[in-house]
């Protein structure tokens, strides 16, 4: 055992898997970029009260899972458990909502939840998320869902499922909540479930235990009690998704772990991941901005788990990010002059946009050539005493084994030809 290991439940990503992680994150960011989302960089810790008020005091995320501590000035701060509250804080603080609407933002980074670690469930998790603030157009809901879908698709994922529902709004939800509470009151619930029902009756609905499913089979569902405006909104979101060719299932029992959701909510689920099957989720949060002291604007967004999306790619056998470490590998044979000559050639090759690496520390030719083929490069550049004296380099096609000696000035062109094949 080494003296130090990573904290419990926190993944390290080291090569070669780290390439997969970075490729997943880039693909998800690119999908948001294509839809006009601008990057936002925010602190990983915030005033604890922001999460208590924004995410909800009674949620597990806030009441049980936050990393909260006092800083040396005695302020209570928390590592961010999610991104939406911080984005809204920044939108209000910087007055972004006073410019053109909707404000469309994308972020990537680590979030922290003190959950029980297991496969796919970490205490430091990474998300790519988007938030669109200041429009309640259902087309925007469909866009947000489609951006997530596009991100997954662009990675080659096919085995996931999209579930969607509407949670109503402040007009229709209170009456529905009462109806559900009354219904639950008539059931013989165990103590823990009754307590959950008391804190938030909606959370009882996705109880997966067979006897509870049976007992809840005819519980009233929000979808059947939407007001006209929410119903129409949901219908339009679905119609646009249909026309976009984004497949979904309506799951009226979906429960999200954060309190700010209204109307459209959704989750992407991948069955290849075991218990932690949620690879991304999001929804509308029409009351959040006002709750945090801003003007009353609606918003919608998602958070996609980068860790879990990588696991999903692996489960589907998608070789994400598994490209060669470099295109060109330099092999100096002999003294430092050869090494310097190779380093200069590689500098030119990198400037031309190719990826290049070399053998360091005066390795023997055989060892260096082994490193070259291990690197996955297409081309090796070999410079020894003879080449130094002649002002040349050997350009070797590592795929075919063909090689030729070319003047230094022509090395770039020769490499370019081989890489262009
Ligand atoms: P969330 O559903 O709590 O939503 O998290 C989003 C995604 O983060 C999940 O679907 C999952 O892939 C990943 N995730 C969450 N917890 C863990 C964990 N412990 N280990 C690994 N991955 C995890 C939010 O965070 C909302 N802020 C999303 C949102 C944005 N809603 C509106 N805007």
pLDDT at 261: 96
User: Average pLDDT for residues 239-243, to the nearest whole number?
Assistant: 98
- In this structure, are strands 299-305 and 124-133 parallel, antiparallel, or unpaired? antiparallel
Residue 195 annotated in ligand binding? no
| C-beta separation of 160 from 255 below 8 A | no
Distance between CA atoms of residues 119 and 207, nearest Å: 21
Please choose, from the candidates 309, 265, 217, the residue with its C-alpha nearest in 3D space to the C-alpha of residue 22: 309
Please choose, from the candidates 242, 88, 98, 230, the residue with its C-alpha nearest in 3D space to the C-alpha of residue 166: 230
Q: What is the arrangement of strands in the sheet containing 392-397, beginning at the earlier edge strand?
A: 356-358, 328-332, 379-383, 392-397, 403-407
CA of residue 305 to ligand 1 center, whole Å: 6
Convert 266-322 into a string of H (helix), E (strand) and C (coil). Answer: EEEECHHHCCCCEEEEEEECCCHHHHCCCCCCCEEEEEEEHHHHHHHHHHCCCCCCC
- The Cα diameter of the chain in Å comes to 93
Q: At a CB cut-off of 8 Å and minimum separation 6, what does 232 contact?
A: none
pLDDT at 178: 96
pLDDT at 208: 87
In the structure encoding, which two tokens stand for residue 186, read together?
């008539």
Q: Is the pLDDT of residue 92 over 90?
A: yes
Residue ranges of alpha helices (H) inside 58-172 are: 60-63, 84-93, 138-154
How does pLDDT run across 278-308, given as a tens digit for each residue? 999 999 999 999 999 999 999 999 999 999 9
Residue 127 annotated in ligand binding? yes
Residue 83 annotated in ligand binding? yes
Q: Is the pLDDT of residue 324 over 90?
A: no
Distance between CA atoms of residues 97 and 112, nearest Å: 27
pLDDT at 156: 98
DSSP H/E element including 29: helix 17-34
> What is the Cα Rg of the chain in Å?
27
- Which regions of 346-420 does DSSP assign to beta strands (E)? 356-358, 379-383, 392-397, 403-407
Q: Would the CB of 257 count as within 6 Å of ligand 1?
A: yes
pLDDT at 143: 98
User: Average pLDDT for residues 393-414, to the nearest whole number?
Assistant: 96
pLDDT at 206: 84
Give me the sign of the Cα torsion angle 224, 230, 232, 235: negative
The pick from 88, 281, 300 for probing ligand 1's pocket by mutation, whose C-beta has the most ligand atoms within 8 angstroms, reads 281
Q: Cα 403 to chain center, whole Å? A: 44
Distance between CA atoms of residues 217 and 204, nearest Å: 12
What does CATH list as the number for 328-420? 3.40.50.800
Q: Would the CB of 305 count as within 6 Å of ligand 1?
A: yes
Q: What burial class does residue 255 get, using C-beta atoms within 10 Å of its C-beta: 0-12 exposed, 13-18 middle, 19+ buried?
A: middle
Nearest CA to ligand 1 atom 31: 282
User: Average pLDDT for residues 26-38, to the nearest whole number?
Assistant: 98
Say what percent of the chain tops pLDDT 90.
94
User: Average pLDDT for residues 412-417, to the nearest whole number?
Assistant: 95
How does pLDDT run across 176-223, given as a tens digit for each residue? 999 999 999 999 999 999 998 998 899 899 888 999 999 999 999 999
Q: Is the pLDDT of residue 73 over 80?
A: yes
DSSP 245: T
Q: Is the pLDDT of residue 421 over 80?
A: no
| C-beta separation of 130 from 229 below 8 A | no
CA of residue 257 to ligand 1 center, whole Å: 9
Going by pLDDT thresholds of 50, 70 and 90, the confidence category of residue 125 is very high
pTM reported for the whole predicted model: 0.95
Q: Would the CB of 51 count as within 6 Å of ligand 1?
A: no
Mean per-residue pLDDT over the chain, rounded: 96
Q: Is the pLDDT of residue 312 over 90?
A: yes
Write down the domain spans for the chain. 17-171+246-315, 173-225, 328-420
Domain 17-171+246-315: CATH superfamily, name plus number: Bira Bifunctional Protein; Domain 2 (3.30.930.10)
């Amino acid at each position: 055992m080494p003296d130090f290991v990573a904290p419990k439940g926190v993944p390290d990503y080291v090569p070669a898997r780290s390439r997969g992680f970075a490729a997943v994150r880039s693909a998800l960011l690119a999908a948001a970029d294509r839809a006009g989302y601008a990057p936002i960089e925010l602190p990983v810790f915030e005033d604890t009260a922001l999460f208590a008020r924004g995410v909800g005091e009674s949620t597990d995320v806030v009441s049980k899972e936050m990393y909260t501590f006092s800083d040396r000035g005695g302020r209570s701060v928390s590592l961010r458990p999610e991104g939406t509250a911080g984005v809204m804080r920044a939108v209000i603080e910087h007055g972004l909502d006073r410019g053109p609407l909707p404000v469309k933002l994308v972020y990537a980074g680590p979030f922290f939840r003190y959950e029980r670690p297991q496969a796919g469930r970490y205490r430091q998790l990474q998300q790519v998320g988007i938030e669109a603030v200041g429009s309640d157009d259902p087309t925007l809901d469909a866009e947000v869902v489609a951006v997530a879908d596009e991100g997954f698709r662009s990675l080659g994922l096919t085995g996931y499922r999209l579930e969607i529902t509407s949670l109503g709004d402040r007009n229709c939800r209170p009456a529905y909540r009462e109806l559900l509470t009354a219904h639950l009151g008539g059931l013989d619930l165990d103590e823990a479930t009754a307590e959950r029902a008391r804190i938030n009756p909606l959370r009882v609905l996705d109880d997966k235990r067979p006897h509870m499913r049976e007992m809840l089979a005819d519980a009233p569902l929000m979808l059947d009690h939407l007001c006209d405006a929410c119903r129409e909104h949901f219908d339009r979101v679905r119609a646009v998704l249909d026309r976009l060719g984004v497949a979904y299932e309506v799951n009226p029992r979906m429960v999200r772990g954060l309190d700010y959701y209204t109307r459209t909510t959704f989750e992407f689920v991948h069955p290849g991941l075991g218990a932690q099957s949620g690879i991304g989720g999001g929804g509308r949060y029409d009351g959040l901005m006002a709750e945090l002291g801003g003007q009353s604007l609606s918003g919608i967004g998602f958070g996609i788990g980068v860790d879990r999306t990588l696991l999903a790619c692996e489960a589907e056998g998608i070789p994400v990010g598994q490209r060669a470490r470099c295109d060109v590998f330099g092999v100096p044979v002999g003294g430092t002059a050869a090494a310097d000559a190779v380093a200069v050639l590689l500098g030119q090759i990198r400037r031309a946009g190719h990826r290049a690496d070399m053998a360091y520390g005066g390795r023997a030719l055989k060892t260096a050539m082994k490193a070259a083929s291990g690197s996955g490069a297409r081309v090796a550049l070999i410079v020894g005493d003879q080449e130094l004296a002649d002002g040349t380099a050997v350009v070797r096609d590592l795929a075919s084994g063909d090689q030729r000696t070319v003047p230094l000035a022509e090395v770039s062109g020769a490499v370019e030809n081989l890489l262009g094949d």
